[in-house]
């Protein structure tokens, strides 16, 4: 068994290889003059672990090319960040169910698929090979423990992400709640913890994805107005699009913590051990 990776998941893939006590295959990536992707892999094994987050459309194409290059029925696919999972239904007529389209193409040429904290596990039904989702919520909790905060308050941005926040909070037995939006007027919205009070507390807002950072930045300003001492943001997938990191910092966030499902300077925890464990247990 060997590990192979897309261009933007090399660090995580190497960590997975180390955790599996195997090697990572060298790959040369380039493009044809018209922009088409090309790649050439080094020496392959009969059983390949293909690792790549769909951080952008180039990564999606590279994954498809890697699956074909590996060309074995024993290929196993690991997509730590599965983009397109938020478009999981037709919100308006004429729209695609994007994750279904992506799941169809990923279900060929691999024997199974592993994802990490996919936006909604329901979408796993769209893969036609066995698909498993694993969580790094407890690893985020373990990192928060090392921050040595005094009784932090763990908040999810909405009730949909509360179960995730509860998994994080369970590591330290911390208080957990979700933010609730109240419309004060046509233009004014208030966000506050539904049941608990943020006054005088270290608050950590946790979510599966931070994309534009808009939700968390808005909530942060309001939490400081409600007397929070300090506010942090933690997520699994640091998508951080369009200046999100700077937006969060400008809102007064003390620090952003993410995993390496998307490799960022703020990737403070690794999903590698969880992936290796999921691949070696059934």
Closest among 9, 20, 18 to 280, alpha carbons compared: 20
Map the footprint of ligand R5P across residues 71-100, applying CB under 6 A.
Answer: 86
Integer Cα distance of 200 and 197 in angstroms: 9
Query: Would you say 70 or 118 has its CB closer to ligand R5P?
Result: 118
Q: In sequence order, what are the residues at sequence separation of 6 or more whose Cβ sits closer than 8 angstroms to the Cβ of residue 155?
A: 165, 176, 177, 178, 179, 193, 198, 203, 204, 205, 206, 219
Query: Would you say 79 or 209 has its CB closer to ligand R5P?
Result: 209
Integer Cα distance of 85 and 88 in angstroms: 6
Map the footprint of ligand R5P across residues 102-121, applying CB under 6 A.
Answer: none
Give me the residues paired with residue 114 across strands: 78, 132
Q: How far is the CB of 86 from ligand R5P (least distance, A)?
A: 6
Distances 122 to 17, 128, 133, 223 between C-alpha atoms, Å? 29, 13, 10, 32
Could you tell me how far CA 218 lies from the centroid of its own chain?
21
Q: How far is the CB of 279 from ligand R5P (least distance, A)?
A: 26
Map the footprint of ligand R5P across residues 162-221, applying CB under 6 A.
Answer: 207-215
Query: Would you say 15 or 177 has its CB closer to ligand R5P?
Result: 177
Q: How far is the CB of 30 from ligand R5P (least distance, A)?
A: 33
Query: Would you say 72 or 218 has its CB closer to ligand R5P?
Result: 218
Question: Total residues at the site for ligand R5P (CB under 6 A)?
Answer: 12
Q: How far is the CB of 246 from ligand R5P (least distance, A)?
A: 13
The 3-state secondary structure of 54-82 reads: CCCHHHHHHHHHHHHHHCCCCCEEEECCC
Integer Cα distance of 24 and 13 in angstroms: 7
Q: Which residue in 151, 181, 190, 268 is the catalytic one?
A: 181
String of contacts with ligand R5P for each residue 28-67, x by CB under 6 A:
----------------------------------------
Closest among 115, 57, 76, 69 to 237, alpha carbons compared: 115
Active-site residue flag, 125? no
Q: How far is the CB of 213 from ligand R5P (least distance, A)?
A: 5
Contacts with ligand R5P by CB under 6 A lie at 86, 157, 161, 207-215
List, by residue number, the catalytic residues: 181
């Amino acid at each position: 068994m060997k590990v192979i990776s897309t261009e933007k998941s090399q660090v995580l893939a190497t960590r997975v290889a180390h955790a599996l006590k195997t090697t990572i295959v060298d790959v040369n990536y380039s493009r044809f003059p018209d922009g088409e992707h090309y790649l050439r892999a080094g020496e392959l094994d009969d059983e390949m672990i293909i690792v790549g987050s769909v951080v952008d459309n180039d990564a999606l194409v590279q994954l498809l090319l890697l699956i074909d290059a590996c060309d074995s029925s024993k290929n196993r696919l690991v997509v730590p960040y599965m983009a397109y999972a938020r478009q999981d239904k037709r919100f308006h007529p004429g729209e695609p169910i994007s994750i279904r389209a992506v799941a169809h193409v990923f279900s060929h040429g691999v024997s199974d698929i592993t994802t990490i904290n996919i936006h909604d596990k329901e979408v796993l039904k769209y893969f036609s090979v066995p698909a498993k989702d694993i969580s790094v919520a407890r690893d985020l909790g373990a990192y928060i423990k090392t921050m040595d905060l005094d009784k932090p308050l763990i908040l999810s941005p909405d009730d949909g992400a509360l179960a995730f926040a509860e998994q994080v909070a369970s590591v330290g037995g911390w208080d957990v709640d979700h933010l609730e939006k109240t419309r004060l007027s046509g233009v004014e919205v208030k966000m506050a913890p539904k049941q608990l009070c943020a006054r005088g507390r270290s608050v950590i807002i946790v979510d599966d994805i931070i994309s534009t950072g808009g939700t968390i930045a808005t909530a942060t300003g309001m939490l400081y107005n409600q007397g929070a001492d300090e506010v942090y943001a933690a997520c699994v997938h640091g998508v951080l699009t369009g200046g999100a990191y700077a937006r969060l910092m400008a809102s007064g966030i003390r620090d952003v913590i993410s995993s390496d499902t998307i490799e960022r300077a703020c990737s403070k925890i690794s999903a590698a051990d969880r992936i290796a464990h999921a691949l070696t247990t059934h």
